[in-house]
Amino acid sequence: MTEPRKFRYIGRHRRAVEHRRFVVGKGRYAADIQLQGLLHVAIVASPHAHAKIISIDTAAALAMPGVHAVLTGEELNVNTEAMLPGVDAPQVKRYPLAHGVARYSGEWVVAIVAESRALAEDAAELVEVEYEPLPHIVDPEQALQADAPLVHAANGSNVIFQRVFNWGEVDAHFAAAPHKLSYRARWARSSTVPIETFAVSAWSNDATGILDVWASIQMPKFPDQLARALRMPGNAVRVHFDVDVGGSYGVKRGLKHAVLVGYLARKTGRPVRFIEDRLENMRGGDMQGPDRIFDVTLAFDGRGIIRSMRMRAVDDVGAYAGRSPLQLGKPVGAIIGPYRIASVQYEAISVMTNKTPQEAVRGFGQAPTNYAIETGIDKVARYLNMDRIELRLRNLIGKDEFPYLIPSGTTYDSGDYATVLGKALDAAPLAEIEKERDALRARGQLAGIGISTCLEPSGGNSAFEPLFNPKNQTTTWMDSCLIRIDLNESITALMGTSTSGQAHETLVSTVVGEVLDREPDSIRVLHADSLNALPSNSPVGSRMAIMLGGAAAGAAKKLRAKLMRIAAHNLGLPESELVYQDGNIAAKTEPAKRLTWGQLVEIAHRKIHQMPKGDEPGLQEKFVLEVPTGGKLPTADGRVQMYPCHSFETHLVLASLDPQTCKVTVHRYVCGHDCGVMISPDVVHGMTYGGIAHGLGAALMEKFAFSDDGQLLSGTFMDYLLPSSMEVPSISIVDHCTPSPLTEFGQKGSGEAGYLGGPAAIASAINDALAPVGASIDALPMTPYALWHALARAEKNSS
């Protein structure tokens, strides 16, 4: 496919279906679910970074009127299965409540169930826990030392995953390269921090044996894992996906929350609910993000052509691990960014510390890696005294080089990076931004222009699982859709996962409307529950436009084909002589010879005597889509096709900092974006704006800071700062479309757009601003305090 196809509904402005309920306060979030006799949970958390639990006295709490249960790890852990990490580290066991040892400050130790949350909190204050503090470790590099205190003694080391990959002739390329440049880049622990905290309710019906669960989740295989942890059959846990999720961007996993609440619901025989308060979310919700130290060396020639890269990434996953170590695996699929780098050595190290555990964050580890690569590209330009844009243009993979196989085994599907970059520069336009920068400098501000060119791998496969864990042979990461046309002629589509703001109902109705040529607003899209859903791997990895969109198209095409067969049979004509329009089917040459949508539907539902032989009665089709290019295990040297599609984004930023206060202002922001065919442009733009805002937070403001004692210092919105409408500038997005040859409509993913290149571009602008005074900074977030230090360092060095 070279030119984008023409569509009737795809790619057009239309109102999202979901908005109609949100603007009138009729969304249905997990905390809104009303259950009769609902009980509420409060948590007693460890105040220590690492401590032995000597004793727990729950008597006073239990005796309080209105308290139904007080649960400790001693009871819970023998009655549930441990939640295991995504890598092969069976000794790193996690349960919802600590038992014996608490490994981070904020870890849950006791759960109280009472008639109201307020009562549960009153009772929590009566629980007495005696601790004996143990040596703790908060610094990831110190945690790697042989004599470091161990977070999990049984694991024998704080390292939970480590592997060196060599892809291509790294040594030879380094030996032949005239220039090498080494640097360190630091990505701080931040996260997506949705405005809705995690909420879960569960109700166990003794008669049916079914545990019903409503949770604000975005998690692949959540129902299966929950059932396994609770030691229940898969068909006894019913997770309701028709819950609106108040933002996630990766982190809303909440397995431990659901195991706890599910257990308590079964124990008490009553519906039970837990809603994190903000501190519980920030400190004990296990939803902090990647926390990385990159040591990188680039090998290049005098023209700035980068031949090879050595990258060592140490990621601090905190005290326990679910899928977090795999966040070093996903970037393997775009380890050279959009550049023609011929060989790579990559060392990935996941280390545990006595901090809140890390969870999946928008991009699944790609944004930090992109930041590390882009930092190096700017450094090479500065080293060679070359323009940063020119250097990029020399290294960007050319539009005619696709499909492009990268050293680590992934093939990039398509792209036109230089054109997108050019379009963004023209839209800015660059000359005007340079003028503005000069004007700011003339006014005494430190002003700079930032640039980044980055990839967003999309279509979410799970190839990093077998890559990082040989015992895991997962090679499929399917998604599905079921579509029915009822006797009254309307269309209903069913998806098997929940939505956290990506407008999937709009996506599916648009796609089904396109294929069946019916008005999308007449199509109902529902979220199934896990017992009647087809398999889904949830909206992770920028996958739903590709995977859910693809599955919906697949099912709709089956229905369309069936309608054609019915028409051919009844009109006595071959299908090749029929045309399908608006759901009606007529003879090409004789339009009066036709069957309407209603007639076709009626035949299928009522008149088996008019159905073609071999066709089932009724109109219902399912489609389970395997990830395009998926299905293979990694090679022995760790090469694998990661995600199928690759969106591209370039960011151009004008920023300044006040030399006195070091406050940063972003004056201009342009983003060139190519995610192939956009099914819903408003949705894509929205996610891109939001991703940029999130990236601005990660670059300048957000950090889960810990004291040396392992105490979280930023557990509220007064010290963990989210960008507001005053910090986020007005943004212009410049679209470009290079269709993917691998997908139904040429679409690629975009759920992580903006965040994947934003932090790198803002950092680039700051360093451009600092360069004239000889200062630089390679650590996020670039807070006023950090920038003040960078300036002070430069001043000291020059004097």
Partner 1 sequence: MSKIKLTSIAIKVNGVVREAQVEPRTTLVDFLRDTLFLTGTHIGCEHGVCGACSVLVDGDPVRSCCMFAVQADGLSVTTVEGLAPERGKLSAIQDAFCEKHAMQCGYCTPGMLIACHALVERNPHPDEAAIREAISGNLCRCTGYQQIVDAVKHATGAKSGAHD
The two three-digit tokens of residue 276, written as one number: 């994190």
* Residue 580 interacting entry, from partner 1, ligand FES, none, C-beta within 5 to 8 Å by type: none
Radius of gyration of the chain (CA): 27
Mask of contacts with partner 1, 60-99, x by CB under 8 A? Answer: -----xx---------------------------------
Q: In angstroms, give the least distance from the CB of 516 to partner 1.
A: 24
The two three-digit tokens of residue 600, written as one number: 């076709």
Local structure of 772: helix, strand or coil: helix
Q: In angstroms, give the least distance from the CB of 26 to partner 1.
A: 7
* Residue 502 interacting entry, from ligand FES, partner 1, none, C-beta within 5 to 8 Å by type: partner 1
When asked if residue 539 is in the footprint of ligand FES (CB under 6 A), the reply is no
**Which residue, among 261, 789, 275, 250, has the nearest Cα to 543 in the 3D structure?**
250
**Which is it for the CA torsion 100, 316, 708, 278, positive or negative?**
negative
Helix (H) / strand (E) element for 223: namely: helix 222-229
- Point out which span in 162-170, 274-282, 593-601, 607-615 binds partner 1 (CB under 8 A): 274-282
When asked if residue 247 is in the footprint of ligand FES (CB under 6 A), the reply is yes
* Residue 78 interacting entry, from partner 1, ligand FES, none, C-beta within 5 to 8 Å by type: none
Q: 337 exposed, middle or buried (CB, 10 Å; 0-12, 13-18, 19+)?
A: buried
Decide if 215 contacts 338 (C-beta within 8 A): no
Taking CA atoms, 673 is separated from 13, 189, 251, 295, 369, in Å, by 18, 27, 25, 29, 19
Residues ≥6 apart with Cβ < 8 Å to 283 = 45, 105, 106, 356, 712, 715
198: left (phi over 0), alpha (psi -120 to 50) or beta: beta
192/767 with CB nearer ligand FES = 192
- Point out which span in 145-153, 262-270, 653-661, 676-684 binds partner 1 (CB under 8 A): 676-684
Q: In angstroms, give the least distance from the CB of 195 to ligand FES.
A: 4
Cis (ω within 30 of 0) for the bond into 403? Answer: yes
The two three-digit tokens of residue 791, written as one number: 């300036």
What's the rounded Cα separation, in Å, for the pair 442 and 163? 50
The two three-digit tokens of residue 251, written as one number: 């982190």
Decide if 451 contacts 652 (C-beta within 8 A): yes
The two three-digit tokens of residue 192, written as one number: 């997506």
Q: In angstroms, give the least distance from the CB of 695 to partner 1.
A: 9
* Residue 277 interacting entry, from partner 1, ligand FES, none, C-beta within 5 to 8 Å by type: partner 1
* Residue 775 interacting entry, from partner 1, ligand FES, none, C-beta within 5 to 8 Å by type: none
- The torsion of the CA quartet 390, 393, 396, 400, rounded to 10 degrees, works out to -170
Residues ≥6 apart with Cβ < 8 Å to 45 = 105, 106, 107, 108, 109, 280, 283, 284
When asked if residue 528 is in the footprint of partner 1 (CB under 8 A), the reply is no
What is the DSSP code (8-state) at residue 502? S
Q: In angstroms, give the least distance from the CB of 294 to partner 1.
A: 26
In 714-772 the beta strands, taken as DSSP E runs, fall at 732-736
When asked if residue 687 is in the footprint of partner 1 (CB under 8 A), the reply is yes
When asked if residue 718 is in the footprint of ligand FES (CB under 6 A), the reply is no
717/785 with CB nearer partner 1 = 717
Q: Which of 29, 183, 402, 580 binds partner 1 (CB under 8 A)?
A: 29
When asked if residue 716 is in the footprint of partner 1 (CB under 8 A), the reply is yes
For Cα atoms 253, 265, 216, give the angle at the middle one, nearest 5 degrees: 25
Sites for partner 1 among residues 9-28 (CB under 8 A): 15-16, 18-27
When asked if residue 146 is in the footprint of partner 1 (CB under 8 A), the reply is no
Q: In angstroms, give the least distance from the CB of 246 to ligand FES.
A: 6
Q: Which of 206, 442, 718, 796 binds partner 1 (CB under 8 A)?
A: 718
When asked if residue 715 is in the footprint of ligand FES (CB under 6 A), the reply is no
When asked if residue 195 is in the footprint of ligand FES (CB under 6 A), the reply is yes
**Which residue, among 405, 309, 356, has the nearest Cα to 151 in the 3D structure?**
356
Taking CA atoms, 472 is separated from 140, 464, 467, 774, in Å, by 27, 10, 8, 49
Local structure of 507: helix, strand or coil: helix
Q: In angstroms, give the least distance from the CB of 346 to partner 1.
A: 31
Q: In angstroms, give the least distance from the CB of 430 to ligand FES.
A: 32
What's the rounded Cα separation, in Å, for the pair 670 and 765? 13
287/483 with CB nearer partner 1 = 287
338/501 with CB nearer ligand FES = 501
452/500 with CB nearer partner 1 = 500
When asked if residue 34 is in the footprint of partner 1 (CB under 8 A), the reply is yes
When asked if residue 754 is in the footprint of ligand FES (CB under 6 A), the reply is no
Q: Nearest 5°: phi and psi at 4? A: -60, 140
Q: Which of 318, 409, 459, 501 binds ligand FES (CB under 6 A)?
A: 501
278/569 with CB nearer ligand FES = 278
**Which residue, among 186, 262, 334, 216, has the nearest Cα to 781 in the 3D structure?**
186
450/729 with CB nearer ligand FES = 729
Binding residue count for partner 1, defined by CB under 8 A? 67
What's the rounded Cα separation, in Å, for the pair 357 and 362? 16
181/526 with CB nearer partner 1 = 526
Q: Which of 195, 207, 442, 592 binds partner 1 (CB under 8 A)?
A: 195
Strand partners, 458: 645
330/694 with CB nearer ligand FES = 694
What is the DSSP code (8-state) at residue 671? E
Q: Which of 131, 165, 187, 689 binds partner 1 (CB under 8 A)?
A: 689
Residues of the shown chain interacting with ligand FES in the complex, contacts defined by CB under 6 A:
195, 247, 501
Q: Which residues bind partner 1 (CB under 8 A)?
A: 15-16, 18-27, 29, 31-32, 34, 65-66, 115-116, 118-119, 122, 192-197, 244-249, 275, 277-278, 500-503, 681-683, 685-687, 689-694, 716-718, 722, 724-726, 728, 730-733, 754
